[in-house]
Structure formats: C-alpha cells, structure tokens
Chains A and B, each alone.
Chain A
Amino acid sequence: MSEHLPQRFKDWFSRQGWSPRPHQLAMLEAAQQGKSTLLIAPTGGGKTLAGFLPSLIELAHGTYSGLHTLYVSPLKALSTNIAQSLARPIADMQLPVRAEVRSGDTSGARRKRQQKNPPHILLTTPESLALLLSYPDAAQYFSKLRVVIIDEVHALAGTKRGDQLALCARRLQQFSPLLRVSGLSATVAHPSAMAAWVSPTGKASGVRLIKAEATVRPDVHVLLPDKQGYLPWAGRMGLGSATAILTEIARANLTIVFVNSRAQAELLFQALWKQNGDNLPIGLHHGSLEAAHRAKVEEAMAQGTLRAVVATSSLDLGLDWGAVDQIIQVGAPKQISRLTQRIGRANHRMDEPSRALLAPANRFEVLECEAARKAVVKHELDGEPPRAGALDVLAQHVMVTACSGPFSPDALYKEIKLCAPYSQLTRMDFDKVIQFVEDGGYALQAYERHQRLVRDTTGHLCVRTERIIRQFRMNIGTIVDTPMLRVKSRRGKTFGEIDEYFASMLVPGDTFFLGGELLEFLGLHETTVQAARGHGKDPRVPVYGGNQLSISPGLARHVREILHDPSKWGVLPKSVQEWLALQAKRSRLPAPEKLLVETFPHKGWHYIVAYPFEGRNAHQTLGLLLTKMLEETGKGPLGFVANDYMIACWCVHPTGSMAELFSQDLMKSNLTDWLSESAMLRRTFRDVAIIAGLIERNYPGREKNRRQMTVSSDLLYDVLRKYDPEHILLQATWRQAQEGLTDLKRLSDMLDRIQGQIDHVDLSHVSPLAVPVLLEQGKEKIRGGEGEDYLLAEADKLYALAEKA
C-alpha cells in the first residue's frame, strides 16, 4: 500500500524511525481517489498525521496557491497545538506549505493578511468558520478549498457546535463542489452514524470508514481511600482519597488526575497539596482559569517538569501533552466511553497498555467504578447516536448565509438536507425558521417595515441593513455560558473568572477557592470581582454553570447487576459489603426489572425514596412529575433531590399508594404544561433564544448598570407561551429538553417497564441505601405557588412580631 507514499515522505518516516501505519496509508489511498473519510482510532494512533498526510503530499509540489485544507477542532488550544506539530514535518521535509491558526484570539492585522493572502492550511474552530462564512467574499475565499479535516468528531457530533459545523461544511461544499471531508474520531459506539455526520451526502455511504482498533487491553484498577478502604456515605469530591492518590502519583512520572467538576478540581488540588510532604510538582487545569495559567501548566507537562495535573474535561481532548504514564479518575466515571477516552490520555504509545486508577468518592461510586472497570477492559462503549440538529442553530446559520449575500430558500433547504443532523428536517420547520429569521415569525405580527431580511423580486433573501449584519456577527457561536466575571487583586493581577451568579451571592469577607488559591472577596467593582489572598475557614466553592453528566444506561445496568447479586460483591470493600447486607436485612435490595420504592418518616416529614437508576436528568424530571402529582392529591410536597441512582421526595402528609403514584398517567397527564413551567425549560429557552438571535449575548461590561433595561428571557418565555404557543423557538426548546435535559425517553421507557412491578416497602425509619441521597446537595424546592407564599408569609409574620416588640 505504501506505493501511495512519495519517496520524500518515505524517507522522512524512516528518519523518524517510524513506518507508516496501515490506517495512515488507507487515508492516503482514499484521498487519492477523492473519497471523504472517517478515521476512527484510539488516542496515540497517529490520527492527526493520518489526517494531514494527503494534504501535505498534494501541497509538496509547491504549485498550489490559495487555501487548500481547512482544519476544524473543538478547541482553540488544540488548533495551536496541531499547528506546532505540523511545523515539524513541514520544516524537516522543507515543504512549501504555510499553515496558520485563526481563532477569536487572532489579531486583526493577521486576519486581514489571511484574508488577502490565505495560507495553504488554516486551522480554526466552528465559531471562527461560521464567522468567515458570514463575509461577502466567502464564496471566493473558499473556492479552491480541497479538504476539510474535522478533528474530535465524537466530541462535536450531536452537540450544537457540531450542528453548526456540519451546516458550515455543507456551505463550503457549495463553494467548492469537489471538496472532501475527513473526520477524525475516537472510538465510538455508533461508527456509521458518525460517518453519516461527516458525509457530504448526509449518508454513511458517502464516506470511507477507516478503523484502527486498540489492540491492548488497558490496565485498570479501583483505588480505595486510606483508613482501610472506608468509604463515606455521600459526597462526590473524593478528598478522602488524597493520600492514596499522592502515593500513586509518586510512583509514576506523569499522572493526569481527572475529576468531574471545576469545584472538585479546586478542592482536590487543595487536599493533595495539604499532604504533599515531598513537594511533588502538581498543577491544576480547568476551564475557569486564566488562559495564561493553563498554557503554563500545559507547557510544564510537555517539558516533563510536572508530576501530576488535576484536570476537568479541559484535558479530555487530544492535545499532546507529553508522556502521560497513568490517569486517575476521581469520582464517578459516569460514562464508559468518556472513561475510555480519558484512559487513552495515558496511551502515548498505541501498543502499550494504558494504566488507569478509579478512585470512588462514596459507596455507590465503588459499585460504579467496579462496573466501569469491567466494561472498559472488555472494550465496551456507550453513548447515544448523534441527535437531530437543533433549530436555533439552524436559525443562526440562515443568518450567517444571509450575511454573505442574497440566498434562495429553496436552494438552502436542499443544501441543509445533505447535512446528516438535518436530513429529516421538514420543509415546514425549515420555512418556520426562515420566517423567524425574517421577521420574528410571530402570530401577532407588528411593524412589517422593520424586518431583518428582505425579499427581492426573484425570491432571494438578504439582510436589510449593514448595521444588523454587524450586530449579528458579534453574536455568532453556539456556546452559551453564564456571564463570567474576572477576579482581580487590587493591584490588577488576574486570578481567574467566576460566574456572575456566584459572584452576586458573595458578601465582602467571604472566602472562596480559585486557581488553587484561597481568596477573600472584597467587592464588586463594575464588572470585576476584587479579591485578595484570604485566610479563614469554610470557604465557599464556586459553583460553575453547566449540566452534570448523567450516568449512561449501560453503566447503570452494570451497577444494578452487581447490586442485586450478593455473589458479585466479593470485589467490593468490606464496608460496602456490610452496607448492602444491612440494606437486604432492613429493607430490600433493588431487584432486576422492578422498581424499589421505600417510604418512611424522617425528621418530621414523610419520605418517598425510589431507585430507578436512570441518571440524574431523568430523576430530576421524575421529581418534578412526582411532586406535581403529590401536590394535586394534597400530600403537600416540599421538595425533592436526585442523584444518578435514586430520587427522594418529602411531603407534609402521608404519601398514599405508590403503585398509583408511579402509574403511567404520570407521563400522560399535563406533562407538557408542568415541564414548561420548570426552571429546566426556562434555562433551555434562554440558550435557544441567544443562539437563534432573539436576544443578544450579555457581554459583561457592555451594559453596566442598564441591567433593568434588558429583557430577561424568562419574561419573553412567559409572553411567548401565552400569545404564541406554537412558535418555532418554543418547539426548539421543547425538542431540546426532550433529548437532553429531561431525558424524557429514558424516563417514559422506565415507567412503561415497571408497570405493576413496584416493589414498595413501608419502613419505620430511613433505610441504609437511602442515606446517600438524603445527604445529597442540590435539593430542588417547589418554586412559586403555595410553597413560596407560605415562606413569604413566614417572613411577614416575623416582621409583624419584630414591630410589636
């Protein structure tokens, strides 16, 4: 097969002491046949080189001028990293190739130069690509483009950023019809869905699937805390494992300690340093830290001066950070595929086993770690196939298209149907989206003069004014973050960022952790948080936005299998075995195909605890439905709390029949109404409204004290629901919630399955298995309505008393 490789490249490979891998040659062959490809390979498989090799060979002659290859990755940092590693073969072989990065950080001067004199290879992100496509010269700029390389396809497909990128890729194809697309992906559970996602036709048949399988089984162990493996009832931070983690760090050259949240990263980092007697150099890496801080940590990793880094998903993706010997996952693994990818970070050579340790933070997590360990070693994978494309992203794309020049809706519809996420899009929904972009698409139509788009006599649409275009360009992108505020010292040193909501809860004197430092909040100065190094106890931990990942159905099934079968408990620590035995004695173990529901009095309230094992999101939705049912039947529910395994609600009055409560009617009744009222749907609507361009992004500092002048998305949501319930953005919100946030499908499947299978145990006090959920943080209270009025009345009474006194 290596006949496809020119001599110059063969020599280069042998000078490196490498021989081209079969998948690299297969990619080359496909390229020479003009085929689009999807390469699925584990980390460390020379994926990037395989992606670029065909382009480098085509460009080696030096006869090509103009933009040849566009590389898109989900991370700016990844593009920069790849540009650096591309520089090596280019320099070694003296290839006449110019490769440059373009991202939000690229200077204006450089952008102008890139516009005038494009590099051969441009490395960018989905957002920067969308911006490029919004300029009038886009068609001309991309007219000679031959290749689009999409890296980390598994991290993009099925997300809004992925939807945007898929739409942009089809746009590029219009400009350059012979374009081929190369997707690079980690091992995934649904390769053909992933291939369709990459495909220029929207069908898997349009791409050649090339796989490089992992040959070696990873070496995975469960790491128990000190104190003879005693595991706490609850908690997700895993701080009790600090000593055990340090011991393991000391044994290896470089370890990545993966955690599940930024807060956990901060706390664990503190806990490790408290006991770090040998002063092992340990760093911290997460998305809220200053870019400069992160860059320093990354460099230190590459140079081998660090022994360990505590990281969130910020280090999940394929950057090449030197020789990682092992990873330690602290806290619940949640998903088999994600864990496999994290373990892959410790796999700089494909033919050696990756080493990984799983450190559970509580008793339930021991079961989860044990289940995940088995699944990973068996090369099992989980994860859903990519969902249908989001309508808010489509609205943004319509606007991107309109900004670059007049377009025909018919032609655009055809183009979009070639995009796998939108291949099922109906013309009706498409037209509604166009209508929304054009004039808002409201049933109540007002003021025709002020539309966003205007139609010419040939039926083409274009943007009405240059001002609207400029305004829109500032809002391109599908990432909606809670506004973040910069944290600075009085002298102007930046510590990092915290989210606006968290900042608003602080009072001067409060302390919190950021970037591994204990800071004292001094005050809010316009849009900067002023802080100084602090002392003191009980620091608050920044709660960052973002949804928590739910346990995957596959992993949850494995957990249940261990749980209900005492013969499988042998691998568990003694304290966990005793806990489960006690549960079997006092109450019951959750049986397969049944739903265990316990009721008991506790602290003056009546509790219901159910064990569906369907993940936190589905349980949250179940909580909303249960409390609504309980309210309607006069049980006086006060709140609920859910984790990945179970849910607890508490009421003022005894709770009645469980079989009735968990009946299928739960799903049928007023589900839509109930959920529409929920905070979850409101949050979803906010994101949809921003991405679709209904409201502008809130850039901190831009509007300063004009907060009372901006319309909150909550108010818009209420008005829209009342006056225009069929509006396309409400549909978009509902679809999105159904797919992700509420996990409705998972919940309704479960309710179907357990009809007549309710295993109800009425207890006199709390059961051993229920203890963890009662200690869980993040209780949802019943908002609005009688509950809050009751609280307000309480406050009122207090003032009445105070006034009398």
Chain B
Amino acid sequence: MKFREVILAGQHLWLLPGGAVFLPEVGTLVVADLHLGKGTSARSRGVLLPPGDTMETLEKLSKLLDSYAPQHLIALGDSFHDGQAGDRFLDDEKSRLEAITCAVSTVWVAGNHDTLPVSGLSGSWVEECLLGNLILRHIPSAAIPSGKGEVAGHLHPKIRMRIKGHAISRPCFMIGPDRMILPAFGAYTGGLSTVSQAFGDLFSRPPSIYVWGADQIFRVE
C-alpha cells in the first residue's frame, strides 16, 4: 500500500488509502468518524439496518494497525454513533475492539455524537489533543493559532468530479495551509460535498484534495 506524504505546520503526515493518517515522527495513527454502532442505532424507531458495519469498520482499522504498527491510535471523535452504541455491540465486536485498544494506546477524542466517555472502554478520553504543532479535535475550529496546524473530522468530506467525462465520487482528504479535514472512516458514513458552504467557511483558498484508489493516494485538486 502506498501512502502519500504531506506537510502541515512543519509536521510530516502520511495519507493512507482507506482514509487514515499516520504521523511517522510520533508513531501515531489518526482516524475520524468511525460511527461504531450506527447500523443498530435506529432500531428503536423500527429501522433495522444490517448490523455488520461495526465489524467492517473495526476490521478495516485492524488491518491498518497491522500494516503500520503505531504506538498510538487517535480516534478523532464520533467514534461511537451514540451514547448507548457500546451496549449494543455483539461479543465479537466487543472483543475486536478490546484487541485494538490492548495492542495500541488509544486516545478517544470527544465528538458531537459521543460527547461523554463510553463506559468500560480502554484508552483515554479527551476533548482535544496536541501533538507537537498539531491540534487534533473533532469539529474544525473557526480560527487556528498561527504556527499551529489543525487536524479534524466531523464533516465527512466527499468529492464529486469528472475526469475525461467519467464521473467519480469518493470520500477525500481536504488540506489547506493550516488545516486538514479527514474523511469519515466508518462503514456506514455518508459524505458532504466538498463544494458545500461548510467547507467554504473553513478554507480561504481552495484546499488540496486527495482521494485513494485500490492501493494508492491521488491528488485530484
């Protein structure tokens, strides 16, 4: 699998196919918006979605951990679709999640879906965290202190483009001079178009956009 290196606030970041970021200098893997338990979240309303999404997301994450063997894992918020998501996990899902948090020291950043720590979960629970010059938080902030870079999630960016007449729609990384928005990593997460106003407010100039194919990263804008 080929990663693609970008630099944000002087720090090296590797964009990985699948929508994760690896920080080689500190051995840290960052993922955003796992939305674990989303498939079972609306069951009380009678919406009975197939429940395989949690396992799918955890498996995808395990594969990345195997390939990059990071010391730390940072989940950038909305890791759990709602406060009761953990209660609904099946035994397999619980043990897979435990295997992950045992193998790597995990930091759970609070999101708007999971504002409070999920009980019985290993790892630390934080509002945001600082790694060198990088601020990692769930919701992108309006202003970033100069000299710092921000890595955030929340918005689930997705790009629709036309190359030689062929329309392609993909989740993507959006990177500006001082901020990066990660795509959502969860199996049931949809996307918000990159031309949406929500992104216009965050990037004063058009950001660089990266997507991934079978095993490599492409810059498309």
Contacts and interface: CB of A to CB of B under 8 A. Distances in A.
Contacts of A442: 48, 50-52
Contact of A789 (B38, B214, B221): B214
A694 B39 contact: no
Contact of B40 (A447, A785, A794): A447
Contacts of B156: 708
B99 interface: no
A197 B58 CA distance: 49
B46 A788 contact: no
16 contacts: A444-B50, A446-B43, A447-B43, A447-B88, A450-B44, A465-B46, A467-B45, A710-B190, A715-B188, A715-B189, A722-B52, A723-B56, A727-B50, A792-B213, A796-B220, A800-B219
B53 interface: yes
B34 interface: no
A792 B45 contact: no
Contact of B163 (A464, A468, A694, A791): A791
A295 interface: no
B52 to A, nearest CB: 3
Nearest to B158: A708
A344 B191 CA distance: 49
B49 interface: yes
A696 B220 contact: no
A179 to B, nearest CB: 32
Interface string B47-91: 111111101100000000000000000000000000000001010
A719 B218 contact: no
Interface string B137-155: 0000000000000000001
A775 interface: no
A445 B45 CA distance: 17
Contact of A795 (B45, B163, B191): B163
B211 interface: yes
Interface in A668-702: 694-696
A504 B169 CA distance: 13
Interface string B19-45: 000000000000000000011100111
A160 interface: no
Given A707-B192, A708-B155, 14 more contacts: A440-B43, A442-B50, A450-B44, A468-B46, A695-B49, A707-B190, A708-B191, A719-B56, A719-B187, A791-B163, A792-B211, A794-B164, A795-B163, A795-B218
B166 interface: yes
Interface string A784-805: 0110110111111001100000
A117 interface: no
Contacts of A465: 46
A710 B189 CA distance: 8
B50 A467 contact: no
A792 B217 CA distance: 9
A793 B166 CA distance: 13
A716 B188 contact: yes
Interface in A27-83: none
Interface string B186-201: 0111111000000000
A321 interface: no
A100 interface: no
Contacts of A413: none
Contacts of B187: 715, 718-719
B64 to A, nearest CB: 18
B192 A708 contact: yes
Q: Which 3 A-B pairs have the closest CB atoms?
A: A723-B52, A440-B48, A450-B43
A592 to B, nearest CB: 38
B168 interface: yes
B39 A472 contact: no
Interface residues of A, number: 48
Interface of A: 436, 439-440, 442, 444-447, 450, 452, 464-465, 467-468, 471-472, 504, 694-696, 707-712, 715-716, 718-720, 722-724, 727, 781, 785-786, 788-789, 791-796, 799-800
B36 to A, nearest CB: 12
A795 B213 CA distance: 13
B163 A792 contact: yes
Contacts of A445: 51
Nearest to A785: B214
Chain B binding surface SS class = loop
Nearest to B81: A709
B214 A711 contact: no
Nearest to A730: B50
Given A695-B47, A708-B156, A708-B191, A791 B52 contact: no
Given A719-B188, A791-B164, A791-B168, A468 B49 contact: no
Contacts of A710: 190
Contacts of B191: 707-708
Nearest to A719: B52
A724 B50 contact: yes
A788 B49 contact: no
Contacts of A786: 214
B190 A709 contact: yes
B194 to A, nearest CB: 12
B191 to A, nearest CB: 6
A696 B184 CA distance: 22
Interface in B167-221: 168, 184, 187-192, 211, 213-214, 216, 218-221
Contacts of A719: 39, 50, 52-53, 56, 187-188
Contact of B49 (A504, A694, A785, A791): A694
Nearest to B87: A447
Interface in B71-125: 88, 90
A794 B190 contact: no
A788 B220 CA distance: 12
Contacts of B221: 799
Contacts of A795: 161, 163, 218-220
B77 to A, nearest CB: 14
A800 B158 CA distance: 22
A324 to B, nearest CB: 42
A707 B169 CA distance: 15
Given A444-B52, A711-B38, A719-B56, A794 B47 contact: no
A289 B46 CA distance: 35
A440 B50 contact: yes
A495 to B, nearest CB: 24
A792 B211 CA distance: 9
Contacts of A789: 213-214, 216, 218
Give the interface centre of A442, A464, A710 by most chain B CB atoms within 10 Å.
A442
A792 B47 contact: no
Nearest to A450: B43
B46 A791 contact: no
Pick from A442, A710, A786, A795 the residue with the most CB of B within 10 Å. Answer: A795
Contacts of B53: 715, 719
Contacts of B52: 442, 444, 719-720, 722-724
A796 B218 contact: yes
Contacts of B45: 467-468, 471
Contact of A792 (B56, B190, B218): B218
Contacts of A785: 214
A302 B214 CA distance: 60
Contacts of B214: 785-786, 789
Nearest to B57: A719
A110 to B, nearest CB: 29
B219 A799 contact: yes
B95 to A, nearest CB: 14
Contacts of A788: 166, 168, 213
